Structure 1
């Protein structure tokens, strides 16, 4: 079997020039083979940057576009192709968007392998530890604190027993944040697990610790990305001093960044995104590093149904993969792109034994939101 084409599809709901927020754009990769098997992957990042990284012609021996590297190759040689892409794009890649692009390709290769061998991806990864995975819902909080009661109630009605919120205005002003947390906790009661995502807005160790102590009465399960991920000393000190668990890592890529983050930052929870960290293949290496250091891995995931399906398959094959993030975005790129979106059942997502990612894509939606400029 040989790869015959690597196609990049960029999707965007707002028109160019209009502001785009989480969930309103996406980039998909379609890999076609000479046997007719087609695999899909995605990267949760800047779509046009990924497109450029995949389609660009080479500049030197370490600056190839991924498409040139993949055409004519056997898609079943996933590890060898990961290494080839990483090494042959190292001038432009190695971290950030270059690894995001490799992530999308890697996911598509696992999709192809599953179809070729007629085995679920979790079987190819070593076997299924569980038939369902507990989910927590993630939402972007409303600007008015009281309005978040209704949002939290919606998640309760769907069966979630855990929820996380961040983005929007949250994290910019302590009094505002306090009122949001208070409103949500009052609505859901003491038995629901609450987490908050600060997208690094608390900035420093001292400020983050001060706020964590003020929030102790609200019994937060974890504070996510409280300070920049580059501040490894700050993470280590905060994880040691705060009563809440400290989580982070969604913006990091490859085992190399995660090794530093885990061993030096000492977070309680590490959150690689399967569409950014290097795909399914690299996620497995990051998981092993986390396990060796006693750190819980809870993947980040706030994009399309392709990401969700890939994350379910990965966690099913992970001994400690017991918790998954489930986006509450109302973007059609989440709700309608994949016709067989992984369902939520009584607060859990089922682990499918389907072949491949099982993604029945909505081509009318793709054609509606596809951009080629």
Structure 2
């Protein structure tokens, strides 16, 4: 069986002025999901490629997938997603290095790889979790609420608690005074029993991070994500030696060699591959497997649409090193409305779909409502 078609659909759900998501480095003004389809032998697998930033990412992704990846992918034999992943990275990463843009290459491959695993499971009547881990492992993975702050802190903490989530991650990196207010409001709303994490989105230099850790400690923050600009491992290790707060990172790490460096570092307590960015299920599984050998926890980064979350759940089902799944508590129709059977949260844990492949179907009428760009490449028109 060989790949017959690659399809790419970009979905966009604009946010109102009060719903805009602020990060330490910029704002997210619409929710996006790049859906990748791979077809073979009458079956279609689906995946997701991360396109949150920059504003022109959807157009770049269409170009990379349909003009760059499709000419290699269409016609490939589909028996082993890992083999296709290896061949595509072998041919495309040198181009990415010359381009100076490895991120878009990895992000494009992520969507293709997810779709190939979904297709592989559908063709063989097995879930992705089962393909990765024998019997498919656990049926639920613990979740924490994210997307809290810098605005609507109390409201979003309340929403997380009402959903039964045992922990909340709040955004910081907006200046010491505002960060103190965010953390104070979050801790006051959550009380002492619920757990609090923080994400700086690479906002600080080393000296600033050391100073801010004192504030985080006072609010019982259990781990700190991406504290340092450039995410430099040497500086993270220096910071780790200076604070009692465990450090987490990984959403902007690319390549298994780099992931292994972070996983093996004593400074990194949680590694956070984003399966829609880092290379898909193949890379996520490799990171989770290595992290398990090293005793490092895994908490996949998920800040896109529903497909990436489900892919992360299947990796979490197969590998016990996965301790958390991220669940954004802000409104996002590309997470909540696009599946025929919505994600299910049971006692603070996300249920792993157990059908063939990823075990999900997209709702066509909803997809058409949010559709922005569509393009296909097949053997006939290449």
Please, what TM-score do these two structures have when normalized by structure 1?
0.89
* 1:68 pairs with 2:71: yes
Over 3 Å counting, the alpha-carbon distance change for 1:274 and 1:189 in structure 2 is: same
* 1:323 pairs with 2:324: yes
Report the Cα distance in structure 2 between the residues aligned to 1:216 and 1:367, rounded to whole angstroms: 47
Report the Cα distance in structure 2 between the residues aligned to 1:264 and 1:313, rounded to whole angstroms: 26
Question: Residue 38 of structure 1 corresponds to which residue in structure 2?
Answer: 44
Secondary structure at the residue paired with 1:286?
helix
Are the equivalent residues in 2 in contact too, given 1:10–1:48 (CA < 8 A)? no
Superposed, 1:8-27 pairs within 5 Å as 8-14=8-14, 21=28, 24-27=31-34
* 1:139 pairs with 2:147: yes
* Aligned mate of 1:84, from 84, 87, 97: 87
Are the equivalent residues in 1 in contact too, given 2:14–2:30 (CA < 8 A)? no
Are the equivalent residues in 1 in contact too, given 2:11–2:372 (CA < 8 A)? yes
**Contiguous gaps of at least 5 residues in structure 1:** 57-64
Question: Residue 195 of structure 1 corresponds to which residue in structure 2?
Answer: 197
Misfit runs of 4+, over 4 Å: none
Secondary structure at the residue paired with 2:356?
coil
Report the Cα distance in structure 1 between the residues aligned to 2:230 and 2:38, rounded to whole angstroms: 33
Question: Residue 160 of structure 2 corresponds to which residue in structure 1?
Answer: 155
Are the equivalent residues in 2 in contact too, given 1:198–1:223 (CA < 8 A)? yes
Report the Cα distance in structure 2 between the residues aligned to 1:121 and 1:207, rounded to whole angstroms: 42
Report the Cα distance in structure 1 between the residues aligned to 2:323 and 2:271, rounded to whole angstroms: 14
Question: Residue 131 of structure 2 corresponds to which residue in structure 1?
Answer: 124
Report the Cα distance in structure 2 between the residues aligned to 1:342 and 1:30, rounded to whole angstroms: 20
Over 3 Å counting, the alpha-carbon distance change for 1:304 and 1:352 in structure 2 is: same
Output one character per residue of 1:76-120: Cα deviation in whole Å (capped at 9) or x when no partner.
221221111111112333631101111100000100111111111
How far the C-alpha of 1:27 sits from its partner, in A, is 0.7
Question: Residue 242 of structure 2 corresponds to which residue in structure 1?
Answer: 241
How far the C-alpha of 1:25 sits from its partner, in A, is 1.3
**Contiguous gaps of at least 5 residues in structure 2:** 21-25, 52-56, 375-382
Over 3 Å counting, the alpha-carbon distance change for 1:265 and 1:239 in structure 2 is: same
Are the equivalent residues in 1 in contact too, given 2:269–2:297 (CA < 8 A)? yes
Over 3 Å counting, the alpha-carbon distance change for 1:350 and 1:371 in structure 2 is: closer
Report the Cα distance in structure 2 between the residues aligned to 1:215 and 1:25, rounded to whole angstroms: 31
Report the Cα distance in structure 2 between the residues aligned to 1:330 and 1:173, rounded to whole angstroms: 26
Report the Cα distance in structure 1 between the residues aligned to 2:87 and 2:279, rounded to whole angstroms: 13
Secondary structure at the residue paired with 1:24?
strand
Are the equivalent residues in 1 in contact too, given 2:248–2:271 (CA < 8 A)? yes
Secondary structure at the residue paired with 2:229?
coil
Over 3 Å counting, the alpha-carbon distance change for 1:14 and 1:157 in structure 2 is: closer
Over 3 Å counting, the alpha-carbon distance change for 1:115 and 1:22 in structure 2 is: farther
Question: Residue 59 of structure 1 corresponds to which residue in structure 2?
Answer: none
Query: Cα RMSD (Å) of the superposition?
Result: 2.1
Are the equivalent residues in 2 in contact too, given 1:308–1:342 (CA < 8 A)? no
How far the C-alpha of 1:136 sits from its partner, in A, is 0.5
What is the count of residue pairs matched by the alignment?
355
Structure with greater contact order relative to length (CA < 8 Å, sep ≥ 6): 2
Deviates more, 1:225-234 or 1:313-322: 225-234
Secondary structure at the residue paired with 1:349?
strand
